Structure 1
Amino acid sequence: MAAGRARRPGHGGGDRRRVRGRFLVTGAGGGPAPGRRGRGRRGGEDLAVPEAEFTSYYGRPILKPPVWKWDIAAYLFTGGLAAGSSLLAAGGQLTGRPALRRAGRATALAAVSASAAFLIRDLGRPERFHHMLRVAKPTSPMSVGTWILSAYGPAAGVAAVAEAAVWLPERGPFGLVRRVLPPVGRAAGLAAAATAPALATYTGVLLASTAVPSWHEAYPELPVIFAGSALAGGAGVGLIAAPCAQAGPARRMAVAGAALELVGSHRVETRLGLLSEPYRVGTAGRLLRAGRLLTAAGVVGGLLGRRSRAVSALSGAALLAASVATRFGIFHGGVASARDPKYTVVPQRQRLAERRAAA
Structure 2
Amino acid sequence: MSGDGTSGSETGEGATGEGGPGVSKEGVHGERPGREAEIGKGLARRNGRRGRRRGERAMVPEAEFTSYYGLPILNPPTWKATDIAGYFFLGGLAGAGSVLAAGAQLTGRPAAARAMKISSLAAIGGSTALLIHDLGRPARFANMLRVMKPTSPMSMGSWLLGAYGPAAGAAAVLDATGLFPRLGAAATAGAAVLGPLVATYTAALAADTAVPSWHDVHRELPMVFAGSATSAAAGMGLVVSPAREAAPMRTAAVFGAVLELAAAKLIEHRAGLVAEPYKTGKAGRYMRAGEILTAAGTAGGVLLAGRGRTAAALSGAALLAGSACTRFGIFHAGVQSAEDPKYTVVPQRERLTAAANESGNGARNGSG
Per the shorter chain, which TM-score range? 0.7 to 0.9
Q: How many aligned residue pairs are there?
A: 328
Task: Say if 2:243 is the partner of 1:244.
Answer: yes
Cα drift, residue 5 of structure 1:
5.5
Q: How far has the Cα of 1:34 moved from its partner?
A: 2.0
Please show how residues 20-31 of structure 1 align to structure 2 within 5 Å. none
SS in 2 for 1:316: helix
Q: Is the contact made by 1:87 and 1:234 (CA closer than 8 Å) also made in structure 2?
A: no
Report the equivalent of 2:133: 121
Question: Quick one: which amino acid aligns to residue 193 of structure 2?
Answer: A
Gaps of 5+ in 2: 1-7, 24-30, 53-57, 361-368
1:19 corresponds to: none
Note the C-alpha offset of 1:309.
1.4
Q: What residue number does 1:230 align with? A: 229
Deviation at 1:316, TM superposition (A): 0.4
3-state SS, counterpart of residue 201 of structure 1:
helix
Cross-structure match for 2:270? 271
1:33 maps to a residue whose letter is A
C-alpha displacement at 1:329, in angstroms? Answer: 0.6
Partner of 1:165: 177
What is the letter of the counterpart of residue 37 of structure 2?
A
Q: Distance in 2 between matches of 1:184 and 1:2?
A: 109
Following superposition, the deviation at residue 73 of structure 1 comes to 0.8
> Which structure has the bigger radius of gyration?
2
Say if 1:350 and 1:72 are closer, same or farther in 2 by CA, change over 3 A. same
Matching of residues 339-358 of structure 1 within 5 Å: 339-358=339-358
The 5 A counterparts of 1:108-257 are: 108-166=120-178, 178=179, 180=180, 182-257=181-256
Pick the aligned partner of 1:57 from 68, 88, 113: 68
1:328-347 matched pairs, under 5 angstroms: 328-347=328-347
Unaligned runs of 5+ in 1: 15-26, 167-177
Q: TM-score, normalised by structure 2?
A: 0.83
Distance in 2 of aligned mates of 1:260 and 1:210 = 24
Aligned pairs for 1:34-113 within 5 A: 34=38, 37=41, 39=43, 49-70=60-81, 71-113=83-125
4+ residue segments displaced more than 4 Å: 1-5, 35-41
2:324 aligned residue: 324
Q: Distance in 2 between matches of 1:270 and 1:51?
A: 26
- Give CA deviations for 1:168-217 in whole Å, capped at 9, x if unaligned: xxxxxxxxxx4x2x322221011001000111111111111111111111
Whole-Å separation in 2 of the counterparts to 1:309 and 1:88? 19
**Separation in 1 of the partners of 2:320 and 2:212?**
28
Please report how far the alpha carbon of residue 347 of structure 1 lies from its aligned counterpart in structure 2 after TM superposition: 1.0
Distance in 1, Cα, partners of 2:317 & 2:308: 14
Deviation at residue 230 of structure 1 after TM alignment: 0.9
- CA deviation string 1:320-339 (max 9, x = no partner): 00110011111111110110
CA distance in 2, matches of 1:342, 1:148: 36
Give the CA deviation at 1:93. 1.0
CA contact (8 A) 1:103 1:237 kept: no
TM-score (norm 1): 0.85
**What do you get for the CA RMSD once the two structures are aligned?**
2.7
In structure 2, do the counterparts of structure 1 residues 289 and 48 end up closer, same or farther at CA, with 3 Å as the change threshold? closer
Identical pairs, percent = 57
Deviations 1:11-36 (A, max 9, x none): x879xxxxxxxxxxxx99xxx92265
